[in-house]
Amino acid sequence: MSDLPLTRIGDVGISKVVCGTNPFFGFSHFTRARDIWMKEYFTDDRIREVLEKANDFGINAVLSGCNDRLYNILRDLGREGREVHWICTPGG
Protein backbone atom coordinates (compact mmCIF):
# COMPACT_ATOMS: atom_id res chain seq x y z
CA MET A 1 0.00 0.00 0.00
CA SER A 2 1.20 3.49 -0.85
CA ASP A 3 1.88 6.11 1.79
CA LEU A 4 -0.80 8.59 0.73
CA PRO A 5 -1.41 11.30 3.29
CA LEU A 6 -4.32 10.64 5.63
CA THR A 7 -6.75 12.89 7.41
CA ARG A 8 -8.34 11.74 10.64
CA ILE A 9 -12.04 11.55 11.36
CA GLY A 10 -12.15 10.49 14.98
CA ASP A 11 -9.86 7.50 15.21
CA VAL A 12 -10.19 6.58 11.52
CA GLY A 13 -7.52 7.46 8.96
CA ILE A 14 -9.05 8.46 5.61
CA SER A 15 -6.88 8.92 2.52
CA LYS A 16 -6.85 12.49 1.24
CA VAL A 17 -7.68 11.08 -2.19
CA VAL A 18 -11.14 9.52 -2.30
CA CYS A 19 -12.54 7.28 -5.04
CA GLY A 20 -15.74 8.62 -6.58
CA THR A 21 -18.37 6.36 -8.09
CA ASN A 22 -20.22 8.34 -10.77
CA PRO A 23 -18.78 6.28 -13.64
CA PHE A 24 -19.70 3.02 -11.89
CA PHE A 25 -23.38 3.91 -11.97
CA GLY A 26 -23.60 5.74 -15.29
CA PHE A 27 -23.36 9.38 -14.28
CA SER A 28 -21.03 10.73 -16.96
CA HIS A 29 -22.41 14.29 -16.99
CA PHE A 30 -21.84 14.22 -20.76
CA THR A 31 -24.38 12.30 -22.82
CA ARG A 32 -27.07 9.69 -22.34
CA ALA A 33 -25.11 7.38 -24.64
CA ARG A 34 -22.05 7.61 -22.41
CA ASP A 35 -24.21 7.01 -19.32
CA ILE A 36 -25.56 3.82 -20.90
CA TRP A 37 -22.08 2.67 -21.91
CA MET A 38 -20.76 3.22 -18.38
CA LYS A 39 -23.63 1.24 -16.84
CA GLU A 40 -22.86 -1.66 -19.16
CA TYR A 41 -19.08 -1.45 -18.78
CA PHE A 42 -18.86 -1.22 -15.00
CA THR A 43 -19.89 -4.69 -13.94
CA ASP A 44 -19.43 -5.68 -10.30
CA ASP A 45 -16.13 -7.32 -11.24
CA ARG A 46 -14.84 -4.16 -12.94
CA ILE A 47 -15.92 -1.97 -10.03
CA ARG A 48 -14.14 -4.33 -7.70
CA GLU A 49 -11.01 -4.24 -9.89
CA VAL A 50 -10.94 -0.42 -9.81
CA LEU A 51 -11.41 -0.34 -6.03
CA GLU A 52 -8.72 -2.97 -5.49
CA LYS A 53 -6.24 -1.04 -7.63
CA ALA A 54 -7.12 2.24 -5.88
CA ASN A 55 -6.62 0.50 -2.54
CA ASP A 56 -3.25 -0.83 -3.72
CA PHE A 57 -2.25 2.82 -4.30
CA GLY A 58 -3.36 3.79 -0.79
CA ILE A 59 -6.85 5.10 -1.49
CA ASN A 60 -8.92 3.74 1.36
CA ALA A 61 -12.18 5.67 0.95
CA VAL A 62 -15.08 5.62 -1.50
CA LEU A 63 -17.74 8.32 -1.82
CA SER A 64 -21.23 7.50 -3.08
CA GLY A 65 -24.88 7.56 -2.30
CA CYS A 66 -26.54 4.62 -0.58
CA ASN A 67 -26.34 1.66 -2.92
CA ASP A 68 -26.82 -2.04 -2.17
CA ARG A 69 -24.61 -3.05 -5.08
CA LEU A 70 -21.64 -1.03 -3.83
CA TYR A 71 -22.32 -2.10 -0.25
CA ASN A 72 -21.96 -5.75 -1.25
CA ILE A 73 -18.71 -5.12 -3.14
CA LEU A 74 -17.22 -3.14 -0.23
CA ARG A 75 -18.36 -5.76 2.28
CA ASP A 76 -16.59 -8.47 0.28
CA LEU A 77 -13.40 -6.39 0.02
CA GLY A 78 -13.48 -5.85 3.78
CA ARG A 79 -13.92 -9.56 4.41
CA GLU A 80 -10.78 -10.12 2.36
CA GLY A 81 -8.83 -7.79 4.61
CA ARG A 82 -8.88 -4.62 2.55
CA GLU A 83 -9.44 -1.37 4.43
CA VAL A 84 -12.03 0.61 2.47
CA HIS A 85 -14.14 3.25 4.20
CA TRP A 86 -17.49 4.17 2.68
CA ILE A 87 -18.41 7.85 2.82
CA CYS A 88 -22.09 7.50 2.08
CA THR A 89 -24.07 10.60 1.13
CA PRO A 90 -27.82 10.85 1.65
CA GLY A 91 -30.03 10.70 -1.40
CA GLY A 92 -33.63 11.17 -2.05
The domain segmentation of the chain, as residue ranges, is 6-89
If 0-12 CB within 10 Å is exposed, 13-18 middle and 19+ buried, where does residue 55 land? buried
Q: Phi/psi at 81 (nearest 5 deg)?
A: 95, 5
Cβ-contact 22, 65 below 8 angstroms:
no
User: Over the stretch 11-27, which tens digit does the pLDDT of each residue have?
Assistant: 999 999 999 999 999 99
d(CA 73, CA 45): 9
User: Over the stretch 47-84, which tens digit does the pLDDT of each residue have?
Assistant: 999 999 999 999 999 999 999 999 999 999 999 999 99
d(CA 86, CA 19): 10
Residue 92 has pLDDT above 60, yes or no: no
d(CA 33, CA 18): 26
Confidence bin at 90 (pLDDT 50/70/90):
confident
Residue 24's pLDDT is what? 98
